[in-house]
Structure 1
Amino acid sequence: MSSERHDAAADMAEPNTLRNPGETLREAREARGLSIAEVAQELKISRQAVEHIEAGRFDRLPGDTFTRGYIRSYARLMGLDPNRLAVEFDRHRGIEVRERPVSSIARVKMPNGSGRSIMRWSTLLIVLVLMASAWWWYEAGRPVSEPLLPMEELESELLLDDVEVDAMTLPEAIAKQTEALPADLLAPEPEAPAADPLATEAAADASVAPQETTPVADAQTELAAPVEEPATAEGRGLQLSVAADCWVQVSAVDGRVLHSGLLRDGQALNIDHDGALNLVIGDRSAVTTIRFQGNPVTLPPQSQSGVVRLRLGE
Structure 2
Amino acid sequence: MTQSKSSVAGPPGSVLREARESAGKSITETAEALNLLRTYVEALEQNDYSRFNSPLFARGYIKSYARYMGLDVDPLLKDCDRICRRDDEQFQRSKPQGRAKAPGNARVIVALIMAAFIWSICYVLLSGPVQKELAVHILEQRYNAPRSLRSSTALGESLLRGRDDGDGGIISAQHPGQADSHDVRLRLRAEDDVWFELRNVRGEVLFSGTQAGGTVRHFDTQGPIELAAAYWPALKTQYNGQAVELPSPLPSNALRVRIGEL
Same fold? TM cut 0.5: no
Larger radius of gyration: 1
Structure richer in strand, relative to its length: 2
Of structures 1 and 2, the one with the larger relative CO (CA 8 A, separation 6+) is: 2
Structure richer in helix, relative to its length: 1
Return the TM-score normalized by structure 1: 0.24
